[in-house]
């Protein structure tokens, strides 16, 4: 196990290019199973979760060539996944849709991943059953079978689940006939997967909306797809620049996906400038929370896309702790995501945990270094941002959680002037 040792209190400065979107890379890697022809995926982030997905594909019998953020998958000989490897990341459940569509059967464990609350797979199963699959579940493992193939139908998802939508799309593109998916998720990574599938020969209408229409095809072909920039990483670095007082330029930030993220930061007093497809965070900002029009305490809450993304909630708690004023932050989706705030309180943050979904934050608080532990990807990055804003030395343990979602984070922060080093625990 490794840890990060951080000397805080120094503004970051400079330029960076965001990594590819992890949550787009994982379903796109899984989608390569839908064809026997080679699929090349570019701008794949070099993080623990994508390495695990590549390992899963290799264990399936795929040929995989990975070099310089590109992965080429040949899935002609794909078989069944290794269950122990599949348990390590939640993204392994994305194998269900393409394997069910192509092979008619799949055996998978309950998905692993972050411990941020209950993460149900019912939406995935609802879609598979609607398409004609039989499903059995025992001792934490799922067996899905469609020996006669899948048949298109109308599906109304019980929630706008990102992975549930992705699995439904991947199963539907090889089903017989037309599938209509309503209440579908429309996040940038869902859109990216759809564009890749269209490039492979799929017929999908309504990309970027909450209603998708898919015409099943007999087969898909070779394609090269480039993963888009990770809007969550962009938001994370905006927050980091704001709380350390540094000036940062983020090149190729994918600004078309940032409107609600910008609104969220502006509510905390963070000024952001747009220059083409670049984001500029000016240095030395005086952060002040914007009260509601009637003078009431404002609220920042997450919502399905295009609402404010849940994966930035932890980051915004830290930014709010360094802004003048009070705000209620409401995380509606995961009942354990906010439990990391006790570590921020230990660093001096003024936060009241109201219940599993809500915190009240009052700032600015003078943070001090502490020994803390990363419970999940996003909370880990939030604690790292807090450590960089704090006075003194911090030690962040369980850093592999951050590595699951942020590529080479210590080197990239060092290049921006941060004092961060990695060492064994």
Nearest to residue 369, comparing CAs of 2, 7, 11?
7
How far is 97 from 132, CA to CA, in rounded Å? 12
What does the DSSP 8-state code read for residue 176? B
User: Which member of 114, 311, 376, 410 is catalytic?
Assistant: 114
How far is 22 from 17, CA to CA, in rounded Å? 15
To 10 degrees, the CA torsion angle through 127, 131, 133, 136?
Answer: 20
Q: Which two tokens stand for residue 17?
A: 């290019």
Nearest to residue 44, comparing CAs of 63, 62, 22?
22
Residue 281 contacts residue 241 (beta carbons within 8 Å): yes
Kindly state the helix (H) or strand (E) to which residue 300 belongs, with its residue range: strand 299-301
Question: Catalytic: 114?
Answer: yes
> Distance between terminal CA atoms of the chain?
6
Angle, helices 188-200 vs 162-172, to 10°: value is 10
What does the DSSP 8-state code read for residue 210? S
User: Three-class SS of residue 116?
Assistant: coil
How far is 276 from 251, CA to CA, in rounded Å? 9
Catalytic positions, written as ranges: 114
């Amino acid at each position: 196990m490794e840890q990060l040792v951080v000397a805080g209190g120094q503004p970051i400065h400079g330029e960076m290019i965001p990594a590819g979107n992890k949550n787009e890379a994982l379903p796109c890697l899984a989608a390569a199973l839908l064809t026997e022809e080679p699929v090349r995926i570019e701008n794949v982030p070099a993080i623990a979760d994508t390495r695990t997905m590549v390992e899963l594909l290799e264990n399936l019998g795929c040929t995989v060539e990975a070099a310089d953020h590109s992965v080429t998958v040949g899935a002609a000989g794909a078989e069944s996944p290794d269950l122990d490897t599949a348990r390590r990341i939640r993204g392994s459940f994305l194998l269900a849709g393409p394997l069910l569509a192509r092979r008619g059967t799949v055996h998978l464990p309950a998905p692993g991943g972050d411990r941020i609350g209950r993460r149900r797979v019912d939406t995935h199963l609802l879609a598979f059953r609607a398409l004609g699959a039989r499903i059995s579940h025992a001792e934490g493992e799922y067996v899905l079978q469609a020996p006669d193939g899948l048949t298109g139908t109308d599906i109304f998802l019980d929630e706008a689940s990102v992975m549930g939508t992705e699995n439904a799309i991947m199963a539907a593109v090889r089903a017989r006939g037309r599938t209509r998916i309503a209440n579908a998720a429309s996040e940038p990574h869902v859109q990216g997967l759809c564009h890749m599938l269209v490039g492979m020969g799929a017929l999908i209408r309504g990309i970027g909306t909450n209603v998708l229409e898919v015409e099943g095809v007999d087969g898909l072909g070779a394609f090269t797809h480039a993963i888009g920039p990770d809007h969550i990483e962009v938001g994370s670095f905006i927050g980091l620049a704001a709380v350390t007082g540094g000036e940062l330029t983020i090149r190729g930030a994918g600004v078309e996906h940032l409107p609600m993220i910008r609104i969220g930061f502006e509510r905390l007093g963070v000024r952001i400038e747009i220059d083409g497809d670049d984001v500029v965070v000016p240095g030395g900002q005086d952060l002040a929370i914007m009260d509601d029009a009637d003078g009431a305490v404002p609220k920042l809450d997450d919502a399905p896309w295009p609402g404010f993304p849940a994966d930035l909630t932890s980051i915004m708690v830290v930014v709010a702790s360094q802004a003048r004023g009070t705000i209620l932050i409401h995380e509606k989706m995961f009942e354990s995501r906010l439990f990391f705030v006790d570590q921020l309180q230990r660093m001096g943050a003024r936060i009241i945990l109201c219940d599993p979904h809500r915190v009240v934050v009052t700032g600015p608080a003078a943070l001090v270094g502490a020994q803390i532990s990363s419970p999940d990807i996003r909370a880990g990055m939030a604690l790292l941002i807090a450590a960089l804003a704090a006075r003194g030395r911090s030690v962040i343990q369980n850093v592999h959680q951050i590595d699951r979602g942020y590529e080479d984070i210590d080197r990239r922060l060092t290049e921006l002037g941060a004092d961060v080093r990695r060492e064994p625990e």
